[in-house]
Structure 1
Amino acid sequence: MTTVTSWGRLGSWEHDVLTLNDRASVADQIAGARTGLAHGMGRSYGDVCLNPGNVLWKTTALDHFIAFDEVHGRIICEAGVLLRDIQRLAVPRGWMLPVTPGTQLVTVGGAIANDVHGKNHHVFGSFGDNVHRLTLARTDGTQIECGPDKNASWFAATVGGLGLTGVITTAELQLRRVSGPWLDTETVPYASLDEFFEIADSSEVDWEHTVSWIDCLSTGNHRGLFMRGSPSKVADRPAPKSRTRTMPFVPPVSLVNSLTLRPFNMTYFHVNKWKAGHGIVHYEPFFYPLDNLHEWNRMYGPRGFYQYQSVVPRAVGRDAVQAMLQEIARSGEGSFLAVLKTFGERVAPGMLSFPKPGVTLALDFPNRGVKTTALFERLDAIVRGAGGRLYPAKDARMPRDLFESGYARLTEFLAYRDPGISSALSRRLMGH
């Protein structure tokens, strides 16, 4: 048995880890009496990637490229390939992944299973919107090939399906054309939520990527920094020198605390306000600002941290976000990794896909036990009342009723579950 934790480091649990390294035999390898779960890089924050006391099927050895059509930008690969490796293969050839999350150190299978999103949902949707085909191995020994136009219901169950419909072995992805690795960018300070929404709405026509950092501790109107960007046609230039650092140890207490958070947020806002304006930025620091700080999750100390990410409908988005920020400020809890952005008017590709039209707020919170979970219960009430939902890929404690009310296609999804697959999250929220 091997001790495994997720990115939030909220605990460690014993697992029987089995490495999958031959896509042709995955269906045979996963057959057995004990329930299992595919596990890639373990970058999910909560318990969606954990299966305590049971089997984890490690997929990172399924890391082969199968085919790359450089004319049409189609790539076929195994599910354990990292998004980073696709980017580094494709970008020099004039292609790029249309959608990526805030880290490229995730597998293709994990990106599909959690239907991850990026900063450009209003243009390219979520990751699943750009998948043409995938192959699914089931614990009964069968394999299913599916896509938007082939076995479409299996595809809709698997995209965003939290790894519960089978083990994804291969995928065919559609890339998008780019002139190079550079983005034209602009940073715009804002002083209120009303100003945020004005900038967000006006940016969607001319900018592909839109996202903001918000100071969750600022009083009154809530200031922040709006970042927007689009692929640049600038002539190639030397790539920036990448300096990788590692958080070398787990401090005895969280470095994110009442003594550090307010001055950090104040400094971060004013320094970046001073530097605001146009720029040309390489895609890696723009999309993945924390990837060069390895093990950054250690900064939250031995008790780990939660991420709380919600999406609420746009019609009530301003009031709901305002209410959540007020609760956070009153609680004395807080985050300097606070992201506020809007989702476009698109129908999600998966039955359990998280993105939907509206506004999403994501924050990290050090684990302070009851004080932190009590805050989450108050935030839950706001999200529930607004008709919103929480992101399972980030979740470690969502109440079951909020999951059921937030995902209207849950009952439909359950018919596609593989009975030989289970996770800590599925047992908590679905009973198996």
Structure 2
Amino acid sequence: MTWKTTEYSGWGSALTATGEVARPERAKALDKLLTETPAPAFGNRRSYGDAPLNDGGRAIDMTRMDKVLAFDAETGVVEAEAGVTLATLMRLFAPRGWIPKVVPGTGFATVGGAIGQDVHGKNHHVEGSFGEHVLSLTLFTNGKRVACSPTRNKALFRATVGGIGQTGVILSAKLQMKRTPGTTMRVTETRLADWDEQIDALSASNATYAVSWIDAQARGSKMGRGTLEESELVADDAPAPAKSKSVPVNMPLFSNGLFARAFNEAYFRRVPASGKTSIKRLEEFFFPLDKIYHMNRLYGKNGFHQFQCVVPMDGVEMLERMMDRIARSGLASPLAVLKRSGPGRAGMMSFPMEGYTLAVDFPNRAKAIKLISALEDMTGEAGGRLYLAKDSLAHGDRIKAMYPEWEAWVTEVAKADPDGAMVTDMVRRLELRS
């Protein structure tokens, strides 16, 4: 197996790593690699910060380990290698009546990455997290293949789901998918005038899928305004697919406050005051930004940080204060979303809790980094958590205090990887294994 010195980054591009990377294509080659030179693995690196990075060390690119191993058309159980993307599962099986129960905002996320971060989607308040629908997984850990599930090697399973790759390399998984009547969504969009309308609308929504876009530049009486999308799976005729576009070079439009304010005004007003309902293709609803390749270049060569927190239901007043502070800073990009989350989480280090989750992108600047630090403090004060899939700036003590099962996780990780072969830049920065 050839190791190639490579410079690479997460999706935010603010943090980078340089090291030797191998890209196996067959299970036998991967097993040999992990036996001789164990190293942490990554997929399409859609985590924003340093979770997939191992600067100065080795890493394994799993994107060619992308075979669908089995599928039961009666039960909707699929077995797939870790490098299979969630968009691939949707493309292959939606025409046959099945889709993944949970997907994040990008279809480029791999099965292994979705498990390692226990991702959530626009239906978390209904279906919970991705890991709750993992029936079993195969892990290469401590020199051997090990099968684990919610009932077999349970502690190892719970340390792996949401465990940012520290128990070993996920090789494959069996997933329970959900039935879909077709390949389209009926999407109802509602314009919301301010923060109170946002919270009231999300709280009252009975939709299976619900997500709000927030104009993070709007201040005063308009603070928190935006649009709510409520959606259901349907069997209507699919509209023509949107043409893919690409950002060819670094073009820091999303780092420009004037552009962000103009964009947000237009985006807010595209939804009539009376609202609108439309039929969208599955991928257009679930992965709206995937059709713009290299979209992260819109933040320029310095990249960006995403702040994402979840606060409990009684922390909504603190979340409002956070949103007001973000708006007054003028630093936020047009990408800001609010979702309601349920209690579902499958791992010791899984992010979700019942409440509300806010995600906002910021350009990689000193003022934004200072603001994010303040927002992290406010999250802790509200009894909330930061999302490791998005984090690139937090301190270890802060993260450990937010995850009550951290000590149990460390114990299981030490058993699975006693030599520290799986340690990544994120784990070093946060001192998560010490």
TM range (shorter): over 0.9
CA contact 1:98–1:176 (8 Å) conserved in 2: yes
Distance 1:295 1:271 in 2: 24
Match of 1:202 in 2: 204
Secondary structure, counterpart of 2:401 in structure 1: helix
> How does 1:179-328 map onto structure 2 within 5 Å?
179-204=181-206, 207-220=207-220, 221-234=223-236, 237-251=237-251, 253-273=252-272, 276-317=275-316, 319-328=317-326
Residue 429 of structure 1 aligns with an amino acid whose one-letter code is L
CA contact 1:9–1:305 (8 Å) conserved in 2: yes
Instruction: Tell me whether 1:420 sits opposite 2:421 in the alignment.
Output: yes
CA contact 1:103–1:288 (8 Å) conserved in 2: yes
**Count of aligned pairs:** 422
Distance 1:5 1:225 in 2: 32
CA contact 2:238–2:281 (8 Å) conserved in 1: no
Q: What is the deviation of 1:126?
A: 0.8
Q: Deviations over 1:206-257 (max 9, x none)?
A: x1001000111212342110101011143xx244233011101013x45431
CA contact 2:241–2:281 (8 Å) conserved in 1: no
Instruction: Tell me whether 1:72 sits opposite 2:75 in the alignment.
Output: yes
Residue 327 of structure 2 aligns with an amino acid whose one-letter code is A
Q: Deviations over 1:2-32 (max 9, x none)?
A: 1111111114321110123232453431235
Instruction: Provide closer, same or farther for how the CA distance between residues 300 and 225 of structure 1 changes in structure 2, counting only shifts above 3 A.
Output: same
Match of 1:335 in 2: 333
Q: Which moved more, 1:217-226 or 1:38-47?
A: 217-226
Match of 2:117 in 1: 114
Distance 1:275 1:42 in 2: 40
Distance 1:316 1:123 in 2: 21
Secondary structure, counterpart of 2:114 in structure 1: helix
Instruction: Provide closer, same or farther for how the CA distance between residues 431 and 110 of structure 1 changes in structure 2, counting only shifts above 3 A.
Output: closer
Secondary structure, counterpart of 1:175 in structure 2: strand
| Structure 1: tracts of 5 or more residues without a match | none
Match of 2:24 in 1: 20
Distance 1:401 1:330 in 2: 28
Secondary structure, counterpart of 1:211 in structure 2: strand
CA contact 2:254–2:334 (8 Å) conserved in 1: no
Instruction: Tell me whether 1:94 sits opposite 2:100 in the alignment.
Output: no
Q: Deviations over 1:412-432 (max 9, x none)?
A: 001222222111000111255
Residue 360 of structure 1 aligns with an amino acid whose one-letter code is T
Q: What is the deviation of 1:183?
A: 1.2
Residue 10 of structure 1 aligns with an amino acid whose one-letter code is A
Q: 1:47 aligns with which of 46, 50, 53?
A: 50
CA contact 2:190–2:273 (8 Å) conserved in 1: no
CA contact 1:187–1:278 (8 Å) conserved in 2: yes
CA contact 1:389–1:402 (8 Å) conserved in 2: no
Secondary structure, counterpart of 2:362 in structure 1: strand
Q: Deviations over 1:32-63 (max 9, x none)?
A: 56x62101101111000100000111111111
- Report the RMSD for the aligned CA atoms in angstroms: 1.6
Q: What is the deviation of 1:188?
A: 1.0
Residue 322 of structure 2 aligns with an amino acid whose one-letter code is M
Q: What is the deviation of 1:178?
A: 0.7
Distance 2:166 2:268 in 1: 41
Residue 360 of structure 2 aligns with an amino acid whose one-letter code is L
Match of 1:399 in 2: 395
Match of 1:177 in 2: 179
TM-score, with length taken from structure 2: 0.94
Distance 1:19 1:415 in 2: 30
Instruction: Tell me whether 1:126 sits opposite 2:154 in the alignment.
Output: no
Q: Deviations over 1:354-385 (max 9, x none)?
A: 111110000000111x2111111211121011
Q: What is the deviation of 1:273?
A: 3.4
CA contact 1:26–1:137 (8 Å) conserved in 2: no
Q: Deviations over 1:144-191 (max 9, x none)?
A: 101112111111111101011100001000010111111122111112
| Fraction of identical pairs, as percent | 38
CA contact 1:36–1:51 (8 Å) conserved in 2: no
Distance 1:187 1:254 in 2: 26
Q: Which runs of 4+ in 1 moved over 4 A?
A: none
Secondary structure, counterpart of 2:297 in structure 1: helix
